[in-house]
C-alpha cells in the first residue's frame, strides 16, 4: 500500500517507531487500522471455543482450572486466560489465592464461519420479508451460531454470563440487552473484547468497573420490568 502523502506511512502503528536520524528527519505518522467487527467476533469465538475445550478437559481429568478471583488489571486478565492453555494447565502449583473455576453457564455455541453469496442472502431475506442493501454479486462472511429462542430474560442468568466473560479476561463494552436472548444468553459477540485487543479497545479502567456497573444495570432493568 502506498502512502497518500510524504508525511504519512502505510505501515500499521504497532509498537515503537524506528529511531534512526533518517526517520527523525523525515517523520511520518503510521497508519491506524481499526479491526472489523468480523475480526473481533472471530477472535472472541475462537478464544471461547478453546476455553470451553479446556474446561471439558479439566472436568474429565477431575483437575479444575484455577483462576485469580475478581481480576481488575490487564495482567490479571491475561494470566487467567493463560490458565486455559496447555502450558497454563500444566503449570503447578498455581498461586495460593487462585480458586477452582467450574462454571455452570451455557455460552452460545459458535459453529464456525462461512461465506455466503449476496444472491442467496437476498433470496432468504425476501422470504423473510427483510430488506437489506446486499449486492447479489458480492460474497459475504458470516459467523454461524446455535439458535437461541426468545424467552423471558432473567437477571441472574445474564449476570452469571457477565461474570464468566470477566474472569476469563473479556471486557464487556455494552449493556444493550437486545443482544441477549433465551433466559439470558449473549448472542452478539461484538459486545465483548478479548484481552489481546489494542489498548483503545480493551480498557483496564473500565474492565475493573465492569462487574459493579453492569451487574447494577442488569438488576435495575429487572427491577423496572424492562428485561
Q: How far apart are CA 107 and CA 131, in angstroms?
A: 30
For residue 128, the model assigns a pLDDT of 60
Q: How far apart are CA 105 and CA 116, in angstroms?
A: 31
**Which residues are CB-neighbours of 112 under 8 A, at least 6 positions away?**
143, 144
In angstroms, what is the C-alpha Rg of the chain? 21
Dihedral sign, Cα of residue 76, residue 197, residue 146, residue 159: positive
For residue 81, the model assigns a pLDDT of 97
Q: How far apart are CA 186 and CA 192, in angstroms?
A: 10
Cα 176 from chain centre: 15
Mean pLDDT by 10 residues, the chain (227 residues): 80 83 89 80 95 96 96 97 94 88 94 91 74 81 93 95 97 88 95 90 93 92 86
For residue 201, the model assigns a pLDDT of 86
Q: How far apart are CA 169 and CA 203, in angstroms?
A: 11
For residue 224, the model assigns a pLDDT of 87
For residue 34, the model assigns a pLDDT of 66
- Is residue 191 within 8 Å of 174, Cβ to Cβ? yes
Q: Which three cell numbers stand for residue 32?
A: 491506524
Among 40, 79, 33, which Cα is nearest to 197's?
Answer: 40
Amino acid at each position: 500500500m502506498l502512502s497518500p502523502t510524504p508525511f504519512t506511512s502505510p505501515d500499521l502503528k504497532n509498537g515503537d517507531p524506528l529511531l534512526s536520524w533518517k526517520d527523525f528527519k523525515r517523520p511520518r505518522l503510521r497508519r491506524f487500522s481499526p479491526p472489523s467487527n468480523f475480526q473481533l467476533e472471530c477472535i472472541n469465538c475462537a478464544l471461547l471455543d478453546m476455553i470451553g475445550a479446556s474446561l471439558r478437559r479439566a472436568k474429565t481429568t477431575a483437575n479444575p482450572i484455577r483462576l485469580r478471583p475478581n481480576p481488575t488489571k490487564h495482567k490479571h486478565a491475561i494470566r487467567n486466560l493463560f490458565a486455559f492453555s496447555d502450558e497454563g494447565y500444566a503449570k503447578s502449583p498455581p498461586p495460593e489465592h487462585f480458586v477452582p473455576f467450574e462454571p455452570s453457564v451455557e455460552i452460545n455455541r459458535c459453529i464456525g464461519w462461512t461465506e455466503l453469496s449476496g444472491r442467496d442472502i437476498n433470496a432468504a431475506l425476501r422470504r423473510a420479508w427483510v430488506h437489506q442493501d446486499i449486492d447479489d454479486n458480492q460474497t459475504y462472511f458470516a459467523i454461524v451460531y446455535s439458535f437461541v429462542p426468545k424467552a423471558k430474560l432473567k437477571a441472574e442468568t445474564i449476570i452469571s454470563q457477565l461474570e464468566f466473560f470477566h474472569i476469563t479476561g473479556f471486557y464487556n463494552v455494552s449493556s444493550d440487552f437486545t443482544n441477549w436472548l433465551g433466559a439470558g444468553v449473549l448472542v452478539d459477540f461484538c459486545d465483548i473484547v478479548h484481552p489481546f485487543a489494542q489498548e483503545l479497545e480493551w480498557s483496564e479502567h473500565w474492565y475493573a468497573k465492569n462487574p459493579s456497573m453492569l451487574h447494577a444495570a442488569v438488576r435495575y432493568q429487572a427491577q423496572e420490568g424492562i428485561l
